[in-house]
Chain A
Amino acid sequence: MPDISAWFNDLLSGNLIFTPTTLGYYWTGLVTTSQLVFLSLVIGLVMAVPLAIMRSSRRKWISLPVYVYTYVFRGTPLLIQLYIIYYGVVFFDGIQESFFWPIFREAFYPALIAFTLNTAAYTTEIFRGAIKATSKGEIEAARAYGMSQGLMMRRIIIPSAFRRALPAYGNEVIFMLHASAIASVVTLMDLTGAARYVYSRFYTPFEPFLFVALIYLCLTFAILFFFRFLEKKLLAHLKPQTP
């Protein structure tokens, strides 16, 4: 172990910008970014499934509220949503005394809420498109078997819609990762926040920003790889069949 730390110190010696301290900041940043993106995607996905089903309903009073929600969150910049949720909530009288305050006091949760609502809106629309695109033949076949609406949704429409939505959803995941770079405007020390800190402390734009760009690239690669794997597994039946 002392060997490694000696080697590490040697590697970093004579270097003002990549010190153990700044690398520590980048590590904290990586952890924060990963947590933020992962949690918002998971919660957003869980929200998006029922919302997408509601959104494709033929009953106006079910689909309209969801439409308004997705329209608002897709129609405004994420940065504005974050500002409103972070700086806006403090103007509600008495919020500091309410039981919400421990949540809104930290920068993490307002950011998480903004990101979750945003990605849920996009994911809802992606799923809705996939549900809409279900082929008529499958639905007619399900009806012919005497399936109820709910059973048909569960067994036929949703599974095939998921598969169709996969490539588009992979894109949404990558967009979310990149959009999370704005978290540093509300004092969060995410990857970009760490880079901004090092930049302003040492007045060097290239080293920190190129370094975190590299980390973002690696993360993106990991996501791409994961989705390619998923597509290979789940969309295997769509590949050209070779006898």
Chain B
Amino acid sequence: MKKLLSVSLIGLAVAAASSAQARDYDHVRIGVDVPYVPMEYRTPEGDLTGFDIDLGNAMCEEIGVTCEWIEQEWDGIIPGLLSRNYDAVMSSMTINDERRQQVLFSDPYITMPSAWFAPSNLDISEANEETLEGLTIGVQRGTLQDNYVTDNYSSVADISRYSTADDMVLDLDAQRLDIVFLDFPIGQSTLVENEDGDYTIVGEQISEPKEYFGDGFGIAFRQRDEALAEKFNEALATLKEDGTYDEIHARYFGEE
């Protein structure tokens, strides 16, 4: 009995070891945090759409795999990847060194600055330690914006952290927050262009220092899935060459 048990345990261990090897995917599950307009969101009919979604689907088609999008709140998105709830993350994730220690990134597929947004009646023209003093700043928990604001302004301002960008906008509307810090196009489309409220960008778009703002958005994979990342890189290059990328870009951000 004991022998049988140990033999089957070895069998299990071998099976576990082999399944831990990189494998060939014909079905890729991609984790995404929704909504984050215009990168990923749902239409009124309930369909998943956005720049990431369209580009991701085009890449999958190019590679010849089927893709499934799995929704996951942002603050658990990397642990979810590591614990194999999905095989990749394509969710406006900025490539930076801190994350590189955990995951493998594809080539950047878009670069995007961050920016401060506030109600128009907030009377400051630039965000710095003096103007932010005593204000309540909203950020999404675990984002690079969170890290940047926490490291630079936590001594002068209050920081409220939210699981979703939605809740944050709700509290900005409710006047609980004085100012928020998020990806520029998301703030532009959800706050400046799309709200009944009256919001404006404060100061310039920010993409320095690189330590926080990284090298653009990338698709994240588990470290061992190098082959899969390589396939996505090739697909991205092809899509950029044949114009599909530009077409998708124009769909969400207009012509350059």
Contact = CB atoms under 8 A, between A and B. Distances in A.
A196 B79 CA distance: 12
B152 interface: no
B141 A197 contact: yes
Interface in B151-184: 160-163, 167, 170-171, 173-176
Chain B interface size, under 10 / 10 to 19 / 20 to 34 / 35 or more: 20 to 34
Interface string A209-235: 000000000000000000000000000
A199 interface: yes
A96 B102 CA distance: 43
Contact of B162 (A105, A187, A189, A203): A187
B141 A196 contact: yes
A105 B175 contact: yes
B147 interface: yes
B141 A200 contact: yes
Contact of A187 (B74, B147, B160): B160
A94 B99 CA distance: 44
Contacts of B170: 87, 90
A205 B175 contact: no
Query: Would you call the interface of chain A mostly helix, strand, loop, or mixed?
Result: helix
Chain A interface size, under 10 / 10 to 19 / 20 to 34 / 35 or more: 10 to 19
Contact of B142 (A107, A189, A201): A201
Query: Would you call the interface of chain B mostly helix, strand, loop, or mixed?
Result: helix
Contact of A199 (B75, B82, B102): B75
Contacts of B142: 197, 199-201
B82 A197 contact: no
Contacts of B102: 203
B32 interface: no
A68 interface: no
Contacts of B74: 200
Contacts of A187: 160-162, 171
Contacts, number: 47
B78 interface: yes
Interface in A101-136: 101, 105, 107
B160 A205 contact: no
B140 to A, nearest CB: 9
Interface string A67-96: 000000000000000000001001000001
A185 interface: yes
A93 B142 CA distance: 33
A111 B175 CA distance: 18
Contacts of B147: 201
Contact of B79 (A105, A185, A189, A205): A205
A51 B207 CA distance: 58
A96 B178 CA distance: 13
Nearest to B81: A203
B62 to A, nearest CB: 30
Contact of A105 (B146, B167, B176): B176
Interface in B129-155: 141-142, 146-147
A181 to B, nearest CB: 14
Contacts of B141: 196-197, 200
Contacts of A201: 142, 146-147
Contact of A107 (B75, B79, B160, B163): B160
Interface in A183-210: 185, 187, 189, 193, 196-197, 199-201, 203, 205
Nearest to B103: A203
B74 to A, nearest CB: 8
Interface centre among A87, A105, A107, A203 (most CB of B within 10 A): A203
30 contacts: A87-B170, A90-B173, A90-B174, A90-B175, A96-B174, A96-B175, A105-B175, A107-B160, A185-B163, A187-B160, A187-B161, A187-B171, A189-B161, A193-B161, A196-B75, A196-B141, A197-B141, A197-B142, A197-B161, A199-B75, A199-B76, A199-B79, A200-B74, A200-B146, A201-B142, A203-B78, A203-B79, A203-B82, A203-B102, A205-B79
Given A199-B79, A200-B74, A205-B79, 10 more contacts: A90-B171, A90-B174, A96-B175, A187-B161, A197-B141, A197-B142, A199-B142, A200-B142, A203-B79, A203-B102
Interface of B: 74-76, 78-79, 82, 99, 102, 141-142, 146-147, 160-163, 167, 170-171, 173-176
